[in-house]
Each structure stands twice: as structure tokens, then as C-alpha cells.
Structure 1
Amino acid sequence: MSSTNLVSIRIITADIKRLVQFFEAATQITAKWFTEDFAELQSKSFTLAIGSTKTLAFFGEGIAEPSTNKSIIIEFFVENVDDDYRRIKELTHEIVQEPTTMPWGNRSLLFRDPDGNLINFFTPVSDEAKKKFA
């Protein structure tokens, strides 16, 4: 039996510099640029890759379209979502949900990046949620 591991999420954008700068400020992680059209933000637990629309030429026409996502939420576990909220509301005017404790035990902040992708910063607050992420 083979093993499958999710190693990264890639966002395609028409304005890579703007999006990379946004995620650097939001996550407080410095991006590593591989080319002027491709960068990654790496932590111990994830890699967020950001590619310009020019990178789509390697895959073929019509493969992805920037700024059209309405079905995926990119989620980040953060130490204190209320502290991050103060910083995030300075980065975007598109706060979808201020920090709210959800029924499953996470305190959640939903906002959109400059391309409209939905981002969730969350902190486990219930005992059960804390155990899940321990």
C-alpha cells in the first residue's frame, strides 16, 4: 500500500508580488523566491506555494484561473487568533468573520486575501479541540 501526503497548497495569481507580501505579513513567514514567478512560504507543518499565471504555461491552457476560488478555505493554526486579528484587520478590509468560537471548539477568524481566497486562522479553545492538535 502506498502512502499519500499533502505537502503544499499552490495559489495561482495575476499579481504574485502583492499576494506573497500579503501572506508574508499574515503568517509572519518570509517567502523563498525560486524565480520571479514562483515563491514558497514554508513552516514545519506546511508549504504555501504561490505562482504567477506565467507558470501555467507548463501545464497547458485553461488549467487554473486566478481569483476565482469560491470552494476552498486555507486554514492556519495560530497561537492566539484574537491577537492575530488585530494585525490581519490592518492587512485586509475583507474580514468575513471576526474571531468567533465555533461549535467544534476552535476560535476562528475568516478573511480574504487580495485575490479573494478565503483564509481561516484558528486557535483550539475547547478541551477536545486542544487534544486534537496537541
Structure 2
Amino acid sequence: MNFVSIRIITDDVKRLVDFYAQVTGATPAWATDQFAEIVTASGTLAVAHSDTIALFGAGAAHAADNHSVIVEFRVADVDRCYDTVRSLGAEVVVEPTTQPWGNRSLLFRDPDGNLVNFFTPVTAEAIRRQAR
């Protein structure tokens, strides 16, 4: 089994895809105006309109209603990403901070309120743990 992607459901696909394209520097791959992907070397962030949920079963997911998942991206330098995140007007939840487990993390919310963590392993143990 391979983990492939996380899909965020939204009422404004363009706004959310544009945001993630800007904060990640990735070029989105648009399948339709209701579905796009931000593809990285290790996984994909898919963004779909709430209208697509009917294909999975009505009420299976709700746009802008996440309170239990953190979307995480390993980045080269959290501190450099901080300015980009702030310039986009994202709500910063935790400024760049080195966590007890050895990652330097920046937590912020995307335009739908989903929690996002940009992190960089900075201790030898964290770097070893993140080696792929």
C-alpha cells in the first residue's frame, strides 16, 4: 500500500489552489475547474469543489470544516517560508519554532482555515528520522 494524497474539499477551488501554489512554489495540475492537484516528490495535495462530494456520497465531507488534520510539508528552510506565508495574509498560528522532536515548524491556516505545518528537521535525530 502507498499513501498517495490528501484531498481538501472547498467551495472556492481557485482561491485555495492559488494559495497553495504560492506558498509551495509548485505549479498546480488542473483536471477540471472543480479539481486540481499540487504534486510533490512524496505526495499530492488534491483540492476539489464541494460539489464533487456527491460522487462519494452526500455529506461525506464538508468544505472549510477541518478541526483534526494538519497538512504538513517538509521545506528546505522554514524561516524563509515565513515571509511568504505572511505576505499572503495567512493566519500564523505558531511562528517558526524548534519543537521538542527536532523539527523547526511554522503553523498557519490556509484560506479555508485548514491548519498547515511547514517544517524543517534541524536536529541530527530529526534529520535521521526524516531520511527517505
Question: What TM-score, normalized to structure 2?
Answer: 0.96
Q: Give the match for residue 92 of structure 2.
A: 95
Aligned CA RMSD, in angstroms, stands at 0.8
**d(CA) in 2 for partners of 1:113 and 1:48?**
13
Shift of 1:68: 0.7
Q: Gapped runs of 5+ residues in structure 2?
A: none
Task: Determine if contact 1:92/1:112 at 8 Å carries over to the other structure.
Answer: no
User: Which residue of the other structure, out of 53, 60, 68, is the alignment partner of 1:63?
Assistant: 60
Q: Gapped runs of 5+ residues in structure 1?
A: none
Identity %: 55
Task: Determine if contact 2:90/2:111 at 8 Å carries over to the other structure.
Answer: no
Render the CA deviation track for 1:59-82: whole Å, top value 9, x for unaligned. 121111011101100110000000
Does residue 36 of the first structure (1) align with residue 33 of the second (2)? yes
Q: Give the match for residue 5 of structure 1.
A: 2
1:1-134 → structure 2 map (5 Å cutoff): 4-134=1-131
Question: What TM-score, normalized to structure 1?
Answer: 0.95
Shift of 1:93: 3.7
**SS of residue in 2 equivalent to 1:114:** coil
**d(CA) in 2 for partners of 1:59 and 1:87?**
35
Shift of 1:43: 1.4
**SS of residue in 1 equivalent to 2:80:** helix
| The 10-residue stretch of structure 1 (52-61 or 24-33) with the greater mean CA deviation from structure 2 | 52-61
